[in-house]
Structure 1
């Protein structure tokens, strides 16, 4: 182990994780006037890049879409340590130890270690042609595999699985989605949106099997050749993408004794239970507007919001107000935007016609909007997001009528007594 790096008079922020959250944070710190040292550690050898194109537009993507121009880091005096891991945290001495044994002091430590693909237990997942999608290298491997054509099986009918299936079908690749729940998007979308997206995919040639569970993957010559289901069916294939969710990379935090519960537990300002350690991005479990209890959100808007929160804490700025959680998904020619959380038994207003590819689903309880799911309808999405943030009550009949402007869809408030 090498000796600790010399402490300077300037405060030092060490950021572990060079994904969207960590990459955003270092930029925000400089924008906020932070003049101290910034060290950014990243396991990958690439500078921070945009990750949504990995599943949405991996065909034709030859180069990374950088979060910041490569010259930004030198110009802003951000020390980037790519391909380096952090192995341990010493909270008492306020130091981290790298994988090579270097000891690095910090004044603030920010954990942005992200998440990694969940690995299901069925046999055969290590065969050639069985892929996951989380990194630029993963996207390159998937693009190379599908560029040869063949048949793709996607295990998992969440947003990433459906995005990959849509991109594959757009290139003429045969695609089958296997989902063990009774509908796609079962954990992240309303039943109505699941129905709409299933129909949209089926019309464009995606094969969707719900209530179907994988028993094993079989191969020939070390390469995957088929997916066997527990009901006895077999799906022949050339490539398998496993997209059954992700698990937080919170091992470093756990070993340091930080509180973790399905991710690193943080408050609404990205603080852990150590005042000198913050955590941001997919690795965190956090309070969320409109949700009961803490949740782990895997979305770019959440990562950016938490980066803003952490920057405010570090520079001593005013606390960042919470936002309504939202995210987006691109599938075929649909630009989906979703905000809020669908309640267990909502009433739903359909504004627009799903068959046209332009619509919004407003989910409410007694007129109080809790969530909006929209496609190619940005005005409806923005209005729904505002309704949620302001706890606005709407008139469901007016909201369903496209002839009624959104601003006139509010429920009439009872007049106060004199």
Structure 2
């Protein structure tokens, strides 16, 4: 049903919920519709592979707002509602049931979906992907009975679920195609820290391997067959080989797509009445001078605030430095900045990596591109300032723990 002045948000995750919150806080009092394909109220995803999966955090801690919040703020939250098309000329979105909703401004926060493993047996019961709350519930349940768990992919999801499986008492084998876990993200110097972390906690980490098949019996996975003919027995298999932005109907609507929905620094797409934020948005970053698509929690938390303000006509740009974090065993880490693979010329360490209490800095031409603090806290602000300053920093001072980071600014 067309509504001339309605703001419509497609995607009821963290990004969608935060956009709705910002619109109300900024004074928008018109019709506001939030459409979510899932039946759960908007929730945050990091707990799904961290505290919630480990059983440390309750289910109620994952939700962005209490259910009553949406009613109190007159947000028309429609769960279990899939959008199938956008009619840009008519300014309408089409729902799976064939009904239509008109919009004045449209925000796409559709997120992403896990890449599927393209091998025989990948559809067997006992093969898990982690993206939704229900996925985390199934994996948590699997950990209660599985004595052997195989994890395919040594990215953040793979390593965090491996740590959770070890905490549950399972034998864990991690299978990774690259030479080291997180190699593309962290580079060889720092990736080795995470390789050592998991092997020291009893994980059978196998790098440089290719998965040929998921084996099974009676419709259920029983192991993983590798290309070299070796086999890994497993009662549960977790696949974490990356995610793909959900751009289907955006592409069909003729929006510019390039590794996600391509948007400017105001998070505006090639259609001025359509914005995008979160995992699905490939946004121009003023500091970096190029488009980047960031798949982390902080982006889904902060980017929609800029998008919402831009939808209201405010002169805003999104220039926050990317940030993400992880918790694995006794290692807590925060990463601030952005480095492309092979986009740096040296890594400077402040503190010994062996104690897992250090800061790593990625540099190019003497400029700090990113910093990662491992079990060292309250330093993200100065690290962010070093990244945004664009100044050349003396590597010796950067490595010296007796020189406060604030003195380098």
1:63 matched to 2:62? The reply is: no
What is residue 357 of structure 1 aligned with on the other side? 356
TM-score by length of 2: 0.95
C-alpha distance in 2 between matches for 1:94 and 1:289: 30
C-alpha distance in 1 between matches for 2:336 and 2:387: 8
Give the superposition deviation at 1:128.
0.7
Give the superposition deviation at 1:62.
4.7
What is residue 308 of structure 2 aligned with on the other side? 311
C-alpha distance in 1 between matches for 2:88 and 2:316: 25
Question: Cα distance 1:25–1:147, how it changes in 2: closer, same or farther (>3 A)?
Answer: same
What is residue 249 of structure 1 aligned with on the other side? 246
Question: Cα distance 1:388–1:77, how it changes in 2: closer, same or farther (>3 A)?
Answer: same
Q: Which runs of 5+ in 1 are unaligned?
A: 411-418
What is the aligned counterpart of 2:97 among 92, 95, 100?
A: 100
1:41 matched to 2:40? The reply is: no
C-alpha distance in 1 between matches for 2:268 and 2:407: 41
What is residue 393 of structure 2 aligned with on the other side? 394
C-alpha distance in 2 between matches for 1:282 and 1:180: 24
Contact residue 20 and residue 48 of structure 1 kept, 8 A:
yes
Tell me the SS of whatever aligns to 2:146.
Answer: coil
1:218 matched to 2:215? The reply is: yes
1:192 matched to 2:178? The reply is: no
What is residue 26 of structure 2 aligned with on the other side? 32
What is the aligned counterpart of 1:239 among 236, 241, 266?
A: 236
Give the superposition deviation at 1:226.
1.1
Higher Rg of the two aligned structures: 1
Contact residue 222 and residue 234 of structure 2 kept, 8 A:
yes
Cα deviation 1:147-176 (Å, max 9, x = unaligned): 113111110010111011111112221111
C-alpha distance in 2 between matches for 1:398 and 1:199: 27
Alignment coverage as a number of residue pairs: 404
C-alpha distance in 2 between matches for 1:365 and 1:85: 44
Aligned 1:75-154 pairs, distance under 5 A: 75-154=72-151
Tell me the SS of whatever aligns to 2:77.
Answer: strand
Question: Cα distance 1:91–1:342, how it changes in 2: closer, same or farther (>3 A)?
Answer: closer
Tell me the SS of whatever aligns to 2:174.
Answer: strand
TM-score by length of 1: 0.93
Tell me the SS of whatever aligns to 1:147.
Answer: helix
C-alpha distance in 2 between matches for 1:234 and 1:94: 54
Tell me the SS of whatever aligns to 2:184.
Answer: coil
- RMSD after superposition: 1.5
Aligned 1:198-213 pairs, distance under 5 A: 198-213=195-210
C-alpha distance in 1 between matches for 2:357 and 2:210: 33
C-alpha distance in 2 between matches for 1:190 and 1:289: 25
C-alpha distance in 2 between matches for 1:347 and 1:296: 24
Give the superposition deviation at 1:236.
0.4
Give the superposition deviation at 1:278.
0.8
Contact residue 157 and residue 185 of structure 1 kept, 8 A:
yes
Contact residue 321 and residue 338 of structure 2 kept, 8 A:
no
1:163 matched to 2:160? The reply is: yes
Give the superposition deviation at 1:404.
2.0
Bigger mean CA deviation after superposition, 72-81 or 307-316: 307-316
Give the superposition deviation at 1:289.
5.4
